[in-house]
């Protein structure tokens, strides 16, 4: 225990010193450019981590941190949310999912409301709990909502494989898994319209994919750095990125080397490959249709695919015309630019998904700024 | 987008599951993505799965590099 | 505090989390219907004046899953919760009621364990449980035991606690670590328990208040940061007191195991409930004496000054370890495990 405290204090001193360096370099760069630097935190967990640690506040004078398409709830299209939520209303279904999804507003309902209205909804920490639930409740049709990015995909795959191994006939998965590199590619397709100076890349997606999976960004001329999530990781990521910007170095750096390898985790990717294949196209909120940007279950696992096995009749999705979630997750706008932010749209009655997820840009702004 | 927490493997049940702990908090997690993991290894845990081993040598070296960097004049 | 118009037509679980939606229910349904001078005090207990006496009355219902957890059980919680609401209102608890809503199918031995635990806690406080009620419901879950307790206490004459007394430069003191109870419950529910996992801090604050009596005239207000956690409690106080509260993250004690659970599940420890902690706001000049006294109270050894009041408009801010400042917002939705 004492050792831990020593480490913490050592890291804290380092973090303080590094913070000063970041400030000095950041201010200098902003002065040179005559404007604030614009950096996209691709990952929603980074949005929260930078805000929670106070870094967002400390750098606000010279750095404009923009959220990216890295909150799985926020990038899920309204139409997909509506379909997922409609499953809770079916007879005998029991929905198992992560807490992230419980309060997300669809066009007509939320899972929390479905639960209050008699639907069975269970929140899990590990997807494997869904398999246990299915085994314990043979009369229930257990549907695991596999939402997430590449980080969560192998866990979802392992869960489906376990259901198969246990020969469960009352387990299904509803895949809503998206891929990060194609989304960044889509953002960069029109050059760099939002004027980004750099990308902070998601540490845990990179853990699975490897930092090399993002090397395509270099072609855009925009520097990018993979960062972790502890205070020191956050600062090392930011400092490395600022140095790249100063040196005009359009490279993909890795400031999370003790976790993220260039080649990523091959075992994890093999696990994904056993269950999932890349869809021809996937619909994203805010980004539209992006080719090869989402996972669906392989035909071999079609019988586990809730998307195919449970067909519900869902009316056309309705989104509030004033909601600008789509702009926010592509870095084109900040939550403060939304007319609904903190007025009609709050975490307790969210209009768009960016508000409901605490790691969604609007939720993070609401909670931490 | 994805929470991940470093935990230490305190016992290994089989090649699929192990007990991981951090600060006295313990849980059974899946280790199927970190083949060859051993008791005492630090892993990064996401949604009940170890998604990568944390490299202790790299972690230490990283801090040393940072210290050197911070000693450089601005 | 701004409460937004509700768009929810049915009761959902977040209405019970003590945060924004709970406040919305109070503002939209309960206050308009029941409005009176006592209810409008909106404290942890109503202060009732009768001739020369000042009585405090409070009521609370307890719902917890699992019923037994590290550091306590629903019975102990039901006594401590109501006792603490009286105590932080400056009252000495005198009488308690206990009403039970029992689920069909519950084992009597289990109920007995809960009741004995209540008895033990109440006896340690020399507090008689003087009336009660029992009902049985078909709730479909044998774990669905609900307990309501009501407490009546006598307010010490020198206790004049109210958030409106808070002045800029007053200090905020916490009587120990934050979020232990909430973390213990989450650990139980999600399979993170071990010999060193979080233990609920569930405990009566009566002894603590007794020790603080000499300083009651220096204490502006006292609260127990239960549901909604430290953040929600302090935002309520700031709003009711018309001041800003500025907290220092490095002064707030969060046990490593509590912060581990919070980190793993992606929840903020400042939103996790404590069930045996007091937060008090006192005159700066008296704070070192108060702190010294608090540290002699068993269970409050880790008391610390965690912040200060400033002139402001009713917000709470946290200065992080790195020195950045962020605004604390009221809990909206019970903390749940997240992947992000």
> What's the pLDDT score for residue A218?
96
> What's the pLDDT score for residue C2?
33
The minimal CB distance from A24 to the residues B3, B59, B74 is found for: B74
Beta-carbon contacts of A171 under 8 Å, excluding residues fewer than 6 positions away, are A130, A131, A134, A142, A144, A163, A304
Residues 135-164 of A with CB under 8 A from C: 147-148, 151-152
Half-sphere exposure of A140 toward its Cβ, with a 13 Å CA cutoff? 22
Q: Strands (DSSP E) along chain A, which ranges?
A: 37-43, 63-70, 93-97, 120-123, 141-148, 171-178, 198-202, 224-227, 252-254, 276-278, 281-284, 288-291, 294-297
Q: Which two tokens stand for residue A327?
A: 């702009």
Chain C residues with CB under 8 Å of a chain B CB are 187, 190-198, 256-257, 259-261, 263-264, 266, 338-340
Q: Which among A9, A44, A82, A46 has a CA at the least distance from the CA of A238? A: A46
Is B44 within 8 Å of chain C by CB?
no
Is A95 in contact with A120 (CB distance < 8 Å)?
yes
If you average pLDDT over residues A145-157, what whole number do you get? Answer: 97
Return the DSSP state at A341: B
The minimal CB distance from A154 to the residues B33, B62, B66 is found for: B33
Return the DSSP state at A316: P
CB contacts, 8 Å: B23 with chain A:
4
Comparing A55-59, A325-329, A352-356, the range with the smallest average pLDDT is A352-356
CB contacts, 8 Å: B28 with chain C:
191
C-alpha distance from B58 to closest chain A C-alpha (Å): 5
Is A271 within 8 Å of chain B by CB?
yes
pLDDT at C6 over 50: no
Query: What interhelical angle do A153-165 and A266-275 show, nearest 10?
Result: 60
Bridging pattern class, strands A93-97 and A141-148: parallel
DSSP of A10-31? HHHHHHHHHHHHHHHHHHHHHH
| Cα-based torsion angle of the residue sequence B57, B60, B65, B70 in order, rounded to the nearest 10 degrees | 180
Comparing A77-81, A245-249, A250-254, C128-132, the range with the smallest average pLDDT is A77-81
Q: Do C13 and A112 touch (CB under 8 A)?
A: yes
> What's the pLDDT score for residue A212?
97
> What's the pLDDT score for residue C287?
96
Is A95 within 8 Å of chain C by CB?
no
C-alpha distance from A313 to closest chain B C-alpha (Å): 31
> What's the pLDDT score for residue C4?
36
d(CA C302, CA C288): 14
Which helix (H) or strand (E) segment is C305 a member of?
strand C304-311
d(CA C127, CA C153): 10
> What's the pLDDT score for residue B1?
55
Is A77 within 8 Å of chain B by CB?
no
Which helix (H) or strand (E) segment is B29 a member of?
strand B25-30
Please give the model's pTM, rounded to 2 decimal places: 0.92
Q: Which two tokens stand for residue C109?
A: 């031995």
Q: Is C110 exposed, middle or buried (0-12, 13-18, 19+ CB in 10 A)?
A: middle
If you average pLDDT over residues B39-61, what whole number do you get? Answer: 96
DSSP of A155-196? HHHHHHHHHHHTT-SSEEEEEEEE-HHHHHHHHHTTS-TT--
**Percent of chain C with pLDDT strictly greater than 90:** 84
Q: Do B1 and A154 touch (CB under 8 A)?
A: no
Question: pLDDT tens for residues A109-133?
Answer: 899 999 998 999 999 999 999 999 9
C-alpha distance from C334 to closest chain A C-alpha (Å): 10
If you average pLDDT over residues C161-182, what whole number do you get? Answer: 97
Q: Do C322 and A58 touch (CB under 8 A)?
A: yes
pLDDT at C7 over 60: no
d(CA C188, CA B45): 19
Question: pLDDT tens for residues C274-310?
Answer: 999 999 999 999 999 999 999 999 999 999 999 999 9
Return the SS3 of A63. Answer: strand
Is A19 within 8 Å of chain C by CB?
yes
If you average pLDDT over residues A61-72, what whole number do you get? Answer: 92
Cβ–Cβ contacts within 10 Å for residue C46, how many?
A: 18
More confident call, A87 vs C18: A87
Q: Do A116 and C10 touch (CB under 8 A)?
A: yes
pLDDT-based confidence at C102, cuts 50/70/90?
very high
CB contacts, 8 Å: A15 with chain C:
321-322
| Cα-based torsion angle of the residue sequence C250, C253, C258, C260 in order, rounded to the nearest 10 degrees | 20
CB contacts, 8 Å: B45 with chain C:
264
CB contacts, 8 Å: B21 with chain C:
194
Question: pLDDT tens for residues C25-79?
Answer: 999 999 999 999 999 888 889 999 999 899 999 999 999 999 999 999 999 999 9
Q: Do B4 and A229 touch (CB under 8 A)?
A: yes
Q: Which two tokens stand for residue A161?
A: 């494989």
Question: pLDDT tens for residues C32-41?
Answer: 999 999 998 8
d(CA C296, CA A78): 56
Question: pLDDT tens for residues C245-265?
Answer: 999 999 999 999 999 999 998
Q: Which residue of B has its CA nearest to A360?
A: B1
C-alpha distance from B53 to closest chain A C-alpha (Å): 7
d(CA C46, CA C37): 9
Is B21 within 8 Å of chain A by CB?
no
User: Does the model's ipTM exceed the 0.90 cut?
Assistant: yes
Q: Which two tokens stand for residue C138?
A: 């078909």
Q: How far is CA A165 from the centre of its chain?
A: 30
Q: Do A155 and B47 touch (CB under 8 A)?
A: yes
Write down the mean pLDDT value for chain A: 92
d(CA A166, CA A155): 16
The minimal CB distance from B44 to the residues A4, A44, A207 is found for: A207
pLDDT at C338 over 60: yes
Going C295 to C298 to C301 to C302, the CA torsion angle's sign is negative
Question: pLDDT tens for residues C195-248?
Answer: 999 999 999 999 999 999 999 999 999 999 999 999 999 999 999 999 999 999
Question: Which residues, listed in sequence order, are joined to residue C328 by a DSSP beta bridge?
Answer: C316
Write down the mean pLDDT value for chain B: 93
Is A361 in contact with A71 (CB distance < 8 Å)?
yes
Question: pLDDT tens for residues C305-325?
Answer: 999 999 999 999 999 999 999
Is B56 within 8 Å of chain A by CB?
yes
């Amino acid at each position: 225990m004492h050792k831990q405290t020593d480490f913490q204090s050592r890291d804290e001193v380092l973090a303080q010193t590094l913070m000063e360096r970041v400030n000095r370099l950041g201010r200098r760069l902003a002065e040179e450019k005559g404007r604030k630097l614009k950096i996209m935190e691709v990952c929603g967990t980074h949005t929260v981590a930078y805000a929670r640690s106070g870094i967002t506040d400390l750098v606000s004078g010279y750095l404009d941190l923009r959220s990216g398409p890295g909150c799985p709830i926020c990038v899920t299209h309204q139409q997909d949310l509506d379909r997922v939520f409609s499953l809770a209303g079916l007879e005998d279904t029991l929905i198992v999912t992560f807490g992230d999804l419980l309060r997300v507003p669809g066009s007509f309902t939320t899972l929390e409301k479905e639960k209050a209205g008699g639907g069975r909804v269970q929140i899990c920490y590990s997807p494997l709990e869904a398999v246990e639930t299915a085994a314990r409740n043979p009369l229930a049709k257990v549907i695991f909502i596999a939402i997430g990015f590449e980080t969560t995909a192998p866990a979802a795959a392992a869960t489906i494989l376990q259901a198969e191994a246990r020969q469960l006939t009352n387990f299904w998965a509803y895949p809503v898994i998206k891929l990060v590199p194609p989304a960044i590619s889509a953002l960069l397709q029109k050059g760099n319209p939002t004027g980004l100076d750099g990308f902070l890349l998601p540490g845990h997606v990179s853990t699975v994919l490897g930092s090399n999976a993002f090397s395509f960004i270099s072609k855009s001329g925009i520097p990018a750095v993979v960062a972790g999530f502890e205070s020191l990781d956050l600062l090392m990521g930011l400092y490395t990125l600022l140095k790249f910007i100063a040196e005009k170095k359009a490279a993909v750096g890795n400031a999370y080397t003790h976790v993220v390898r260039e080649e990523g985790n091959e075992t994890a990717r093999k696990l994904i490959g056993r269950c999932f294949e890349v869809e021809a196209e996937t619909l994203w909120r805010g980004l539209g249709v992006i080719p090869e940007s989402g996972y669906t279950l392989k035909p071999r696992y079609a019988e586990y695919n809730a998307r195919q096995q449970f067909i519900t009749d869902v009316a056309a999705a309705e989104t509030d015309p004033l909601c600008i979630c789509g702009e926010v997750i592509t870095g084109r706008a900040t939550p403060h630019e939304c007319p609904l932010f903190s007025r009609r749209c709050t975490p307790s009655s969210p209009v768009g998904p960016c508000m409901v997820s605490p790691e969604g840009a609007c939720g993070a702004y609401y909670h931490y700024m | 987008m994805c929470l991940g927490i470093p935990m230490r493997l305190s016992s290994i049940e089989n090649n699929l599951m192990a007990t991981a702990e951090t600060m006295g908090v313990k849980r059974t997690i899946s280790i199927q993505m970190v083949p060859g993991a051993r008791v005492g290894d630090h892993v990064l845990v996401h949604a009940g799965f170890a998604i990568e081993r944390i490299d202790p040598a790299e972690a230490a070296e990283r801090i040393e590099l940072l210290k050197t960097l911070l000693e450089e004049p601005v | 505090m701004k409460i937004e118009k509700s768009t929810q037509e049915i009761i959902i679980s977040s209405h019970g989390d003590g945060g924004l939606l709970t406040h919305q229910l109070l503002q939209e349904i309960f206050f308009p219907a029941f409005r009176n001078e006592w209810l409008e005090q909106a404290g942890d207990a109503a202060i009732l004046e009768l001739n020369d006496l000042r009585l405090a009355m409070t009521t609370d219902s307890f719902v917890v899953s699992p019923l037994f957890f590290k550091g306590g059980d629903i019975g102990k919680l039901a006594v401590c919760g109501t006792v603490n609401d009286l105590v932080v209102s400056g009252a000495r608890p005198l009488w308690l009621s206990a009403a039970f809503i029992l689920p069909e199918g519950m084992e009597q031995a289990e109920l007995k364990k809960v009741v004995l635990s209540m008895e033990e806690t109440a006896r340690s406080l020399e507090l008689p449980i003087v009336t009660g009620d029992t009902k049985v419901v078909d709730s479909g879950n044998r774990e669905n035991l609900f307990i309501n307790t009501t407490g009546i206490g006598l307010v010490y004459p020198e206790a004049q606690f109210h958030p409106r007394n808070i002045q800029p430069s007053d200090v905020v003191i916490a009587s120990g670590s934050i979020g232990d109870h909430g973390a213990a419950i989450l650990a139980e529910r999600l399979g993170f328990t071990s010999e060193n996992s979080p233990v609920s801090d569930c405990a009566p604050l009566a002894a603590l208040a007794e020790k603080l009596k000499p300083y009651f005239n220096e204490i502006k207000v006292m609260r127990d940061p239960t549901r909604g956690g430290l953040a929600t409690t302090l935002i309520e106080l700031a709003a009711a007191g018309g001041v800003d509260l500025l907290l220092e993250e490095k002064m707030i004690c969060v046990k490593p195991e509590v912060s581990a659970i919070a980190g793993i599940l992606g929840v903020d420890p400042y939103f996790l409930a404590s069930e045996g902690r007091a937060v008090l706001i006192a005159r700066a000049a008296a704070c070192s004496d108060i702190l010294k006294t608090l540290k002699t109270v068993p269970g409050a050894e880790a008391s610390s000054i965690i912040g200060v009041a400033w002139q402001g408009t009713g917000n709470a801010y946290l200065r992080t370890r790195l020195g950045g400042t962020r605004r604390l917002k009221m809990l909206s939705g019970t903390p749940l495990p997240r992947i992000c």
